[in-house]
Amino acid sequence: MATKADRIIVVDDDPELRSLLTRFLAEHGFETRAVDGAAALDRELSRNPPDAIVLDLMMPGEDGLAICRRLRAQGNQIPIIMLTARGDPIDRIVGLETGVDDYLGKPFLPRELVARLNAILRRAGTNSAVMNAQVLHLGSIEINIAKMSVRKNGEDIKLSSREFALLAVLAQSAGHPLSRAQLIDRAFGREAEVTDRAIDVQITRLRRAIGDRGDAPTIIKTVRGVGYMFAGSHD
């Protein structure tokens, strides 16, 4: 039986780039639809949600960051790769804080986009290294690894795929500190281009999402000189 192709939506106001990426991604086995902005994206999302979104940062009207922020606020956790012509690392940090899963600077080689898409789809799918059939109970937090769901005191918590991967790795090693390098390796894979600063940003977002006080966190603790640790132990 043939495997269903992953569905990708490309959002960019450049018609030549849309056409190029549509052809190239189709040649590499993706079902691809390209649109020119937020309104067209919203229509696609309502009709047939994709497995991932390739989203341009600089667009007229609602730009990429605003679109990502809105989707995450609505609880939409579809993986997003941001395309940006800017080279300033601060833009990448802002993107991660907004909920972007990965970023790619223009100009880029289309085959690099394919590699990035395959990586985030692996993280979001059941083939990810942290995806296995178990439910972790740590104090008030319940983490269903297989379903990629998190509850605290019975209430659902919405996380991006990166935030969930980090939380799952930390929770599976509860009580044991992990370095940033270990977190990158276990959550995203050794081939991932993830910096220590990006891990710090994701930890900050993760703490905020699970209600862990930023000034005195009690769930995800910073271990000076090492990295981070999920406090407590499995019930």
Task: Please tell me the pTM assigned to this model.
Answer: 0.60
Pairing of strands 220-223, 155-157: unpaired
pLDDT at 80: 92
- Over residues 165-175, the mean pLDDT reads 88
CATH topology of domain 7-124: Rossmann fold (3.40.50)
Percentage with pLDDT > 90 across the chain: 39
**9: pLDDT strictly greater than 70:** yes
**Is the distance from CB of 172 to CB of 144 less than 8 angstroms?**
no
Distance of alpha carbon 3 from alpha carbon 17, whole angstroms = 27
CATH 1.10.10.10 fits 135-230, yes or no: yes
Locate the domains of the chain by residue range.
7-124, 135-230
**186: pLDDT strictly greater than 90:** no
Nearest to 164 by CA among 117, 123, 219, 217: 123
> pLDDT tens digits, residue range 40-93?
999 999 888 899 999 999 899 999 999 998 988 887 878 999 998 766 666 666
Distance of alpha carbon 44 from alpha carbon 58, whole angstroms = 20
pLDDT at 190: 64
Distance of alpha carbon 23 from alpha carbon 170, whole angstroms = 39
> pLDDT tens digits, residue range 100-150?
888 888 888 899 999 989 888 876 653 344 444 478 888 889 988 777 889
